[in-house]
Amino acid sequence: MINDTIQALTIAGTDSGGGAGVMADIKTMQERHVFSAAVVVAVTAQNTIGVADFMAMPEKLIDEQFKAVADDLKIRAAKTGMLADVPSVKAVVANLKKYDLGPLTVDPVMIAKGGARLLSEDAIQTVKQELVPLATILTPNLPEAAELTGMQIESSDDMLVAAQKLQDMGAKNVLVKGGHEADDNESSDFVLLENGDSFWMTSPRVDTNRTHGTGDTLSSCITSELAKGKSVEDAIRIGKEYVSATIEQGIQVGHGHGPLNHWA
Ligand code: PLP
């Protein structure tokens, strides 16, 4: 009885190296015991060393993937990741409005750790205006939060203000990921909930280069837990614990920024 399984959807770009994007999402959802479906928005040629090339899917194919999933499956939660360019962001937004896919986690992916731009500059405005207001949970890292708010984010106080701005832009709940702060021994994330409650989540910074796909893993773990019916706060806390565990342990894959291990 397939419709009794807990099903979640990733709407994102692929990673031929298996570490990030749709591949990380599927592995994470599987680990969280959730059936994963995927709408592929872009295909990248990449490995642990970097992104060599990518191409966004034609809008028609994006539409058809959404329709195929919505016609047959019973998606309980969805996430967006790499969305590439303005036409594909617009196609994704239109389909998110058309189909009920449950709570939506928006990971506003912009630039890969290796420096490759995964969202065109002109699409940032479209994400701000059209996608952020659809987010049940928005999960920017510090550079993404800065781009979306137009702020310089240099302190914990700035993170707080940025989260509030992002909520004012329409995201119901906001998780600002502090992992990109340079100077610290720990990584602190700030969460602002829909009801105005807020909290910090802190974990020791792990000295490793195996962090490729961290954001995807976090947002797809959160999505899996939302699909199971967990509260936003619980889903975020479980996501954070899961990512910390997968960063801490494991083996190296490839020659660059190794991916996380999803059998944590
Ligand atoms: N490739 C794809 C398709 C992604 O979705 C992402 C992140 O969201 C990345 C690459 C970047 O991964 P990272 O910055 O963790 O190396």
**Residue 225 maps to which CATH number?**
3.40.1190.20
Print the domain residue range for 46. 2-248
How many domains does the chain fold into? Answer: 1
What is the model's pLDDT at position 142? 96
Q: Position of tokens 């706060």? A: 233
In total, the chain counts a number of residues equal to 264
Residue 80 Cβ inside 6 Å of ligand 1? The answer reads no
Residue 218 Cβ inside 6 Å of ligand 1? The answer reads no
ipTM of the complex: 0.93
What is the model's pLDDT at position 250? 58
Of 171, 176, 250, 154, the C-alpha closest to 206 is: 250
CA-closest residue to ligand 1 atom 2: 21
Name residues of the chain where pLDDT drops below 50.
Answer: none
Distance 81 CA to ligand 1 centre (A): 8
CA torsion 171-72-223-161 (nearest 10°) is -10
The reply to whether 259 falls in a domain is no
Distance 82 CA to ligand 1 centre (A): 7
What is the model's pLDDT at position 155? 93
pTM for this predicted structure? 0.95
Could you tell which of 82, 85, 217 is best to mutate to test the pocket of ligand 1, judged by most ligand atoms within 8 Å of the CB?
82
The reply to whether 223 falls in a domain is yes
What is the model's pLDDT at position 113? 85
Q: Position of tokens 């479906």? A: 37
What is the model's pLDDT at position 248? 78
The reply to whether 254 falls in a domain is no
Q: Which residues of 163-183 are buried (b: 16+ CB within 10 A; e: fewer)?
A: bebbbebebbbbbbbbbebee
